[in-house]
Structure 1
Amino acid sequence: MATAVPETESEHRYVEDDRVELQDSDAWDKLGYSFPTWRKWQILCVVFLIQISMNLNASMYANAVDSISENFGVSQQVARIPQMTFLVAYAFGCELWAPWSEEYGRWPIQQLSLFLVNIWQIPCAISKHYGTYVICRFLGGLSTAGGSVTLGVLADMWEPDDQEYAVAFLVLSSVGGSVVGAIIGGFVQQYKSLPWIFWTQLLVGGGVQLVHLVLNPETRATILLDREAKRRRKTGEDPNIYGPNEILGSKLSPKEFWTIFYRPFYMFFTEPIVLWLSLLSGFSDALIFTFLQSFQPVYKQWGFGTVGISLAFIPLLVGYILAYFSYLPSIHHFRKIRRRDPDRLKPEVRLWWLLFLAPLEAIGLFGFAWTSLGPSYGIPWIATMIFSTMVGIANYAIYQSSIDYMTAAYGPYAASATGGNDLARDFLAGIAALYSTPMYTNIPGRPLEYASTILACISVVVTIPIYVFYRKGPEIRAKSKFAQSIDQTREKSRKKRKSVSGPGGSTTKHIERV
């Protein structure tokens, strides 16, 4: 899930012949930033549902594996390939949709994405051939306009220093959707036939698309400015005013499209902060898809059936909710400080709460590993769930803090930085769909315990950079060609706000790079 950050406008209004560009300060009351608070959160709640729907699609397929294997005569490992193709395609689909949401607006792109994802559920539901699942799941993942667009909507309504509550809320939907899919999927698997795994996804996706169609407006600033400019010309209020896209053109050149698309990948491999935080976030997300496969052998020891195993995911959801509420006090505290003195806090402060929550990932995995010994050792099933709750807390915290930190550290390039984060999360989750079951069944000795122990050891290694970035982040950012100009840009923006007081207390033009 990527986010977006405003850029500052040029010093002078764009004028071409007798056409004058309408800027955000001229129509501030028409932009998403001026929506009433209740309206912003209503829009955000719909986006929350979109994120739940998308991630439910990613995880619910795991409940179809047994039936596909049996019905089409393939191994369970082969039956998991469509889950992998969906997630890997999802990783790239997020970045493919982002440029078009800038050109045509958030609303039509989200509607088109939801429509296509829903359409690809139908061939899966009526399929008579295994290959249909592979192809249509791949197309479904590629059709999913993920966080690059959903958090673009958020950035249309809140400025960077005001986004934290909204980002925390949307992160909850991003991590929670996979767990919701696992819980619902167990009931569908138990009481319905294979096609209903996909009909259920279609019903959820169709319902969400209808809600979005009815309740959510366009939020993209340039689109809203174009509309307002047309209205003013039509009424005669200002016959020479034109929107940004009307003057500058709304068509992306191939070079612009390529730049927007490839930059997340470039930053992923060249920026240490982006690389390590993305790997950490990707590893943490892959754990959930590992659990989708590992919970079955673990909880069968206590006699859990299909529904019982699906309900075993509830502690992860509890962990996410606890982590979400735990962030609110620190967000409130640091926002108060920034409002008194915008220069007092460095971006690294956004990692502060993660320093305390990140170790819960390793603790939770070690604890889950050795409480998986089962009832023969007198261990109650609730013990494993206590530790999986810790993993849920850490998973939410890692995603929330990494998104928040990269937004602050990379300014106008935050969309690309967090795009690398999304790429790692979805790609590694897709790979996890294939290795998790063999890992939990083929390791000699105690496969359940050793597999989770291996993951716990890896989690220790990948969380170390958090503490390095917290201490050495300014020095690392100083060597980044993307981050070097951020402080200068912010200083210019502050000077501009002091010299000219625009509507809403800001004269910056908000052009989100998503």
Structure 2
Amino acid sequence: MASDGEKKEGARLSKHRSSNAPEFIDRFRFKADKVSSDSSSLPSTTQTTPNASVSGPPSGKVEISEAEYYHATGFMFPTWKKWSILVVIFAVQTSMNFNAAVYGNNISHLSNHFNVSAQAARVGQMIFLVAYAFGCELWAPWSEEYGRWTVLQLSLFFVNIFQLPVALAPNFATVVVGRFFGGLSSAGGSVTLGMVADMWQPHEQGYAVAFIVFSSVAGSLFGPITGGFIETHLNWNWNAWIQLFFGVAVQAIHFWVPETRSTILLDREAKRLRKSGLNIWGPNEMNEKRITRKKVVQIWFRPFVMFVTEPIVLFLSLLSGFSDALIFTFLASYGLVYAQWGFSSIQTGLAFIPLGIGYILAYIFHLPFIHKDRQILKRDLTGIAAERRLYPLLWLAPLLSLGMFGFAWTSLGPPQVHWIAPMLFSILVGAANYSIYMGTIDYMVASYGPYSSSATGGNGFARDFLAGIAAMYSVPLFTNISETNSLEWASTLLGCFAIILTIPIYVFYRHGESIRKRSKFASKLAEERQGHGGLMPFTVGHAANANHLGRENSEEKV
């Protein structure tokens, strides 16, 4: 029997919730909050609707949930605010990929200054990308627990700090060490894509994901395009100084970006409500032990487990990784190819612009499909099979091999071929590269739901890791594969690999549903969806309970 004080407290909570709960909460009937108590022996109760009162012992702490205080989360940011945040995140993602790519224009300077071979100088690019692959996974759990803003600020700070030993390096070993820690400090797509999940529901994320993917591939081009000017007019250490200046500017802009992580925002809302006398606590405040060593290890290793055990993740990640490796192979091969026409470093850098045109065309190509999917999902959240996300790839993925073959046999040089020919074929490679990254991420999100961060983590790991390896083999490949027509045969070999790796796209499009049924993670998600009427489980149960699996995997909404 509740006392008068308890009833009064419950009525106050009920009144507050009634004035703020959005309509969709009533529609989807979110589960009630979990009510925790400092006195574990005392019972506490929670009503089953968002607008019901909550009663418990006078000393009990009531935990608020995303379901009841949806208005306080990033989902309710106005559209202009969401896209303003994404524009800044676009710059953050671009700066990190710029750091990886622009180093390639410093190889000759480093080789001459430190008296090392060009191949040894490339270790700095390789080590950054390989460390970047691991860094993205290492930062992800901390952004879930302590917020996106804090983690990105720390990441950018350390990335900028480790530019200093590179710029001031007395020897080449210092350059390598600085590049390693700079890559390891980079929190890439694992955090930036998580911010998309903080602000858009899964069926509304298409445009935002496409935009963030574009920022990732665009940064890889911004490096060589500007790198030619840096290489021509400045000394070797200015390559690192400009990375530092860019990074500091981005960090300063990001400083004004608001937090988007739901659990952090709910903690702030709870603190605000307690000032008015309500006994309300946020999800992190109710957790004495916010993240355990076991949980961190589990989160870190899950992407690698899925990469090895899930055929969808394995083949699509290899496809995406190989496609990205091509771009970094191009960073080395362009100098060799366009030297035949007498291109300077600046002209060679500008030759990457057609790749960017390919990215833009592919981005535009995806927009109508995203729009159509959104219209269908507005009517029926189960109206689209996951395999539909691969449909644009059916058209654009073959352009990867076609572009590579065309680039190969238009790299003969003058007088047989004009220099514009390989550039035109590189447009096809750019379009395919963007679409492969976008399509594979989109399909993994649809297939793995709350496990999709781990799935896409394997995708991102493959892209960065294989790109790092490509930095070491690219020049030897293009110079040593054949005594004659070495440039042509190297690109032809890459085109053959592209054919092999695009085959799984058509297999998954046709047989993906049966493959997902045999998947441990995807089949579990399908069962959970059936239990929630076709909704993503994190849209219902996980949102209503900000702890447990929803907290653990909330980044994995995207």
Name the TM-score class by shorter chain. over 0.9
Q: Hey, what's the Cα distance between the residues in 1 that align with 2:555 and 2:531?
A: 19
1:41–1:461 CA distance, 2 compared to 1 (3 A): same
- What is the aligned counterpart of 2:221 among 156, 163, 179? 179
Shift of 1:12: 4.0
1:73–1:495 CA distance, 2 compared to 1 (3 A): closer
Residue 138, structure 1, aligned to residue 176, structure 2: no
Shift of 1:103: 1.1
- What is the aligned counterpart of 1:199 among 232, 238, 241? 241
Q: In terms of mean alpha carbon deviation, does 477-486 or 249-258 score higher? A: 249-258
Q: Is the 1:347–1:405 contact (alpha carbons within 8 Å) kept by the matching residues of 2?
A: yes
Residue 67, structure 1, aligned to residue 106, structure 2: no
Q: Is the 2:91–2:250 contact (alpha carbons within 8 Å) kept by the matching residues of 1?
A: yes
Please name the residue that 1:4 is paired with. none
Local SS of the residue matching 1:247: coil
| 1:422-475 CA-partner distances (Å, limit 9, x unpaired) | 110000000000000001111222110000000000000000000000000011
Please name the residue that 2:466 is paired with. 428
Shift of 1:487: 2.1
Local SS of the residue matching 1:456: helix
Shift of 1:26: 2.1
- Whichever residue aligns with residue 356 of structure 2, its letter is L
User: Equivalent residues in 2 for 1:399-418 (5 A)?
Assistant: 399-418=437-456
Local SS of the residue matching 1:20: strand
Per the normalisation by structure 2, the TM-score is 0.87
Q: Is the 2:147–2:260 contact (alpha carbons within 8 Å) kept by the matching residues of 1?
A: yes
Please name the residue that 2:477 is paired with. 439
Q: Is the 2:387–2:508 contact (alpha carbons within 8 Å) kept by the matching residues of 1?
A: yes
Q: Is the 1:284–1:395 contact (alpha carbons within 8 Å) kept by the matching residues of 2?
A: yes
- Whichever residue aligns with residue 224 of structure 1, its letter is L
Please name the residue that 1:461 is paired with. 500
Please name the residue that 1:108 is paired with. 150
Q: Hey, what's the Cα distance between the residues in 2 that align with 1:507 and 1:148?
A: 24
Shift of 1:392: 0.1
Q: Is the 1:222–1:245 contact (alpha carbons within 8 Å) kept by the matching residues of 2?
A: yes
Structure label with greater radius of gyration: 2
User: Equivalent residues in 2 for 1:14-53 (5 A)?
Assistant: 14-17=34-37, 18-53=60-95
Per the normalisation by structure 1, the TM-score is 0.94
Please name the residue that 1:230 is paired with. 271
Please name the residue that 2:166 is paired with. 124
Q: Hey, what's the Cα distance between the residues in 2 that align with 1:435 and 1:479?
A: 37
Q: Hey, what's the Cα distance between the residues in 2 that align with 1:209 and 1:315?
A: 29
- Whichever residue aligns with residue 231 of structure 1, its letter is R
Please name the residue that 2:57 is paired with. none
Please name the residue that 1:3 is paired with. none
Q: Is the 1:23–1:225 contact (alpha carbons within 8 Å) kept by the matching residues of 2?
A: yes
Please name the residue that 1:331 is paired with. 370
1:9–1:454 CA distance, 2 compared to 1 (3 A): farther
Please name the residue that 2:407 is paired with. 368
Q: Hey, what's the Cα distance between the residues in 2 that align with 1:337 and 1:375?
A: 52
Shift of 1:508: 7.7
Q: Hey, what's the Cα distance between the residues in 1 that align with 2:381 and 2:170?
A: 60
- Identity rate, percent: 56
The unaligned stretches of length 5 or more in structure 2 are 1-27, 38-59
Q: Is the 1:183–1:310 contact (alpha carbons within 8 Å) kept by the matching residues of 2?
A: yes
Q: Is the 2:413–2:419 contact (alpha carbons within 8 Å) kept by the matching residues of 1?
A: yes
Please name the residue that 2:259 is paired with. 218
Q: Hey, what's the Cα distance between the residues in 1 that align with 2:187 and 2:323?
A: 22
Please name the residue that 2:309 is paired with. 270
| 1:170-190 CA-partner distances (Å, limit 9, x unpaired) | 000001101001111111001
- What is the aligned counterpart of 2:192 among 150, 157, 163? 150
Residue 90, structure 1, aligned to residue 132, structure 2: yes
1:271–1:9 CA distance, 2 compared to 1 (3 A): farther
Q: Hey, what's the Cα distance between the residues in 2 that align with 1:162 and 1:501?
A: 16
Q: Hey, what's the Cα distance between the residues in 1 that align with 2:195 and 2:380?
A: 28
1:496–1:54 CA distance, 2 compared to 1 (3 A): closer
- What is the aligned counterpart of 2:296 among 230, 240, 257? 257
Shift of 1:30: 1.1
Shift of 1:416: 0.1
The unaligned stretches of length 5 or more in structure 1 are 1-7
- What is the aligned counterpart of 1:76 among 113, 118, 122? 118
- Whichever residue aligns with residue 144 of structure 2, its letter is E
Shift of 1:513: 3.6
| 1:456-504 CA-partner distances (Å, limit 9, x unpaired) | 000000000000000000110000110112122223333899xx999xx
Residue 290, structure 1, aligned to residue 329, structure 2: yes
The number of aligned residues is 498
Local SS of the residue matching 2:521: coil
Q: Is the 1:9–1:508 contact (alpha carbons within 8 Å) kept by the matching residues of 2?
A: no
Shift of 1:309: 0.2
Local SS of the residue matching 1:151: helix
1:256–1:454 CA distance, 2 compared to 1 (3 A): same
Q: Hey, what's the Cα distance between the residues in 2 that align with 1:462 and 1:306?
A: 32
Q: Hey, what's the Cα distance between the residues in 2 that align with 1:99 and 1:78?
A: 34
Considering Cα pairs closer than 8 Å and 6+ residues apart, tell me whether 1 or 2 has the greater RCO. 1
Residue 13, structure 1, aligned to residue 52, structure 2: no
